[in-house]
Amino acid sequence: MLRSKDLTGLYDASAEEIVEILDRAAEMKALLAKGRKSEKTLAGTALVTLFYENSTRTRTSFELAGKYLGAHEVNIAAASSSVQKGETLIDTGRTLDAMKIDFIAIRHPLAGAPALLARNVSASVINAGDGMNEHPTQALLDMFTMREKFGKIEGLKVAILGDIKHSRVAKSNLFGLKKLGAEVYMYAPRTLMPMGIDELGAHVCNGGGCRGRALRDGAEDSARKAEGRAVSLSFGIQQVLRRKGRHSLACRQGRDNHASRPRQQGHRAYAFADRRRSQRDRGAGDKRSCHAHGGALAAQGIQGEEFMRYVIKNGSVVFKDVVRNCDILVEDGRIAAVGEGLDAEKAIDAEGLHVFPGLIDMHVHLREPGFEGKEDIESGSRAAVAGGFTQVCCMPNTNPVCDNAVVVTYILSRAKEVNLCKVRPIGSITKGEKGEELAEIGKMAAAGAVAISDDGRSVMDSKIMRLAMEYADGFGLK
């Protein structure tokens, strides 16, 4: 007997319960093979299929199973139910409970919906798929087929390939197969592999090998090829670039601006300023450096490209967790050394001043293109460097809205022309910031966007917001 009245997933099911279900399924299959489609096992009971997503095979399977076993079966489609009038899942469940329904088979786009329903009704709830969480009945069918084919599941090595991250069936298979003694290997590009699934017992395999146990029989090579054919989360197959004979994904990954570009070397530039004056150093950096700014630079007359090597002396240098009096040697706009007793042709006396890493403003409104009368990239950048900010992240509230790669590219090109500070474009989550349809997140990321936001306009559609967060994670955005 099952311990619970509900079957909401295989994560909490025991091996004995899974075996019992598989054994009973074998008995039912034998009856069907004899043409017996009118059993009395569930006579006098009522089954409701409550589907909030479209389905053909799963819903039909539940309907036929109920009829074959003698239950009265009713189908409810959310599209034509009171859900359209605002009725909640719990409201629906309690209404069905009042009608003395015995079984509810539910499919829902949100993970955890079947468990929520089960806690609020007396009827037995069967999960027919909830979001990206679990699909226990499909996994049970897979295990039934394996056991029928191989005679047992214990000791099998099962490989699951594809979009693991979004597959509820893959997760239920992992839970069930592990409990029955199988080893489960999961193959997918990193963008389609959920983080931490190896902690649930899976051998996670991709181009970098397999975490959990060494791959055999060429499986590692297959995994590496699968990684090279990475799937873009929003625009189908992403073009794979070849660089120096190796594959590199064209989408954004990690902290680099572009995965197809090598990481820039060198230390972060420092900025220093006081409350009295602040002036940009126009000659200290190249296009890939954070420029050094501050009143002392202007006071010492370092302008143009006359001095490309100088030392800032006697300042109180702010490190991550300490302030220390020392010197900073700057060469070609980069921090070459930090220490005591450093010398150069030109020296800047920063006594009484604090020298700190360039500040980053994560939320600015540069308003270009479209609203230059309020602010533009040049005026906003000048204001930034005047306050010691070497990088700014600009919001997408422009005209047109920064919801595509073209606008992102324009902002970056204008920032390069102005050449005052680093400008990091933030793309919009939805097209036109209207909250109705996802913007071209992948293309914006490839063009140089560092994050996505609808800038104060809430995305009211939870599905769109969830997809946006998944895509942002896949493309390395924030």
Set 3, 85, 244, 320: catalytic member: 85
Set 3, 34, 57, 255: catalytic member: 57
- 8 A C-beta contact, residue 172 and residue 139: yes
Q: Is 119 a catalytic residue?
A: no
Q: Is 34 a catalytic residue?
A: no
105: Cβ contacts below 8 Å, ≥ 6 apart:
47, 48, 49, 50, 59, 62, 126, 128
SS (H, E, C) the chain: CCCCCCECCCCCCCHHHHHHHHHHHHHHHHHHHCCCCCCCCCCCCEEEEEECCCCCHHHHHHHHHHHHCCCEEEEEEHHHCHHHHCCCHHHHHHHHHHCCCCEEEEEECCCCHHHHHHHHCCCEEEEEEECCCECHHHHHHHHHHHHHHHCCCCCCEEEEECCCCCCHHHHHHHHHHHHCCCEEEEECCHHHCCCCHHHHCCEEEECCEEECCCCCCCHHHHHHHHHHCCECCCCCECCEEEECCEEEECCCCCCCCCCCCCCCCCCCCEEECCCCCCCECCCCCCCCCCCCECHHHHHHCCCCCCCCEEEEEEEEEECCCCEEEEEEEEECCEEEEEECCCCCCEEEECCCCEEEECEEEEEECCCCCCCCCCCCHHHHHHHHHHCCEEEEEECCCCCCCCCCHHHHHHHHHHHHHHCCCEEEEEECCEHHHCCCCECCHHHHHHHCCCEECCCCCCCCCHHHHHHHHHHHHHCCCC
Q: Is 29 a catalytic residue?
A: no
Set 8, 59, 107, 165: catalytic member: 107
Set 59, 135, 258, 443: catalytic member: 135
Set 8, 45, 49, 58: catalytic member: 58
Q: Is 41 a catalytic residue?
A: no
Q: Is 57 a catalytic residue?
A: yes
| Active site residue ranges | 57-58, 85, 107, 135
